[in-house]
Structure 1
Amino acid sequence: MAENVPPSPMARKFMLAAEKGRHPVSYGNRPMRQFEEVYYFFYGTLMDPSTLGHVLKRPDTPDVHKATIEARRIKLWGEYPALVIGFPEQTIHGVACKIKSEEEADRLAAYETAMYGADGCIIRFEDGSTVSGWTFVWNADESLLKEGTFDLEDWLSKKQHPANDQ
């Protein structure tokens, strides 16, 4: 390899992931075996069952359950929320949905883009029960993020009435 040649975008992605201790792909931490249904935790646009159903390409609206995860912090990438690892003791409110196939997991990863990577988490439901699952966390340079909060109702309103978003 020639000297002073910058690493390719793919190589940079893997180097960044190695620094953060996780894989850059959506479900890269899972061993390669037959897919098992698993809960994913959502804290942004995919909290909306209609949007989630569209992304998953399900014929029916998916069942979502109010849930929380711990030890994360939300910042914003533009208008979209991004979970940042390393800020403990914060409760993030969202929803959880059981993902039923590898194809659905792939669709989620495509929707989230390479800017996010899946990371394991403990999901706590309103009844106090918990399950191991996955959530998407920020997988890029944190300098691209700003402080702020995400409001699903505001996002849905802007989506339904784009002319009002000036």
Structure 2
Amino acid sequence: MPDPTPPPLPPAPKPASKAINLKVSAPPSQSKHNRTTNALLPPDQPFSPCYMFLYGSLMDPEVLQAVLNLPELPTTRPATISGFKVRMWSIYPALILGDDDEKVSGVVWKVEEENHFKRLQEYETGAYIWTWCEATLDDDKKVREKCRTFCWAGDPHSKELEDGSFDLARYQRVLKPSIVRKRPAVP
């Protein structure tokens, strides 16, 4: 079977409008069942830096650099989150709620700029929605406050999702070159 065609990079970010409604989930201080309740972020709430838990192609610093057009490789740290699990949407990993003892491995990276967060949202497409999470770093330190990740926005029981796992090494070998090669020059 031939290797799949890589996804295109999302379009360049558009200038922000004055009123932006983002779908989000409840903050981590709420119960597991409440964190699936979507709410609207008030348009007047300013962006503030946050950590992102990344678990797919964006775990690779060169891919993250290309997607965000960063001048330097971003510094990420290995981390895990609990209470979630990964299903596959074709070749893409999709995070859904799982049992409290289930863990997903990935990395965390601090998003300092609102345009970077918006670019990540575009890259993830409407198939994903961000939610709060608590990440545990490899040294057992917790990233509790202002840590987000992207989850599957649809029905977690959808027939579009299959059991499986994301193979980062295969992605890096087969698809990464087309993403990194498309990286525009940093001004």
Tell me the TM-score range normalised by the shorter chain.
0.7 to 0.9
Residue in structure 2 matching 1:158, options 174, 180, 187: 174
Q: Which amino acid aligns with 1:37?
A: P
Q: Which amino acid aligns with 2:60?
A: D
Q: Distance in 2 between matches of 1:29 and 1:83?
A: 21
Unmatched segments (≥5 aa) in structure 2: 1-22, 24-35, 179-187
Residue in structure 2 matching 1:145, options 150, 161, 164: 161
Q: Deviations over 1:45-94 (max 9, x none)?
A: 00000111111221111111000100001000001100111433211110
Q: TM-score, normalised by structure 1?
A: 0.77
Match of 1:99 in 2: 111
Residue in structure 1 matching 2:85, options 50, 66, 73: 73
Q: Which amino acid aligns with 1:156?
A: Q
SS in 1 for 2:165: coil
Match of 2:66 in 1: 54
Q: TM-score, normalised by structure 2?
A: 0.69
Unmatched segments (≥5 aa) in structure 1: 1-13, 15-19
Q: Distance in 1 between matches of 2:107 and 2:80?
A: 7
Q: Distance in 1 between matches of 2:130 and 2:97?
A: 12
Q: Distance in 1 between matches of 2:112 and 2:82?
A: 24
Aligned residues: 140
| Aligned 8 A contact 1:68 1:92 in 2 | yes
Compute the displacement of 1:38 (Å). 0.8
Residue in structure 2 matching 1:83, options 91, 95, 100: 95
Q: Deviations over 1:98-141 (max 9, x none)?
A: 00111001000000000000000001111111113000000013
* Correspondence list, 1:116-135, <5 A: 116-131=128-143, 132=145, 133-135=147-149
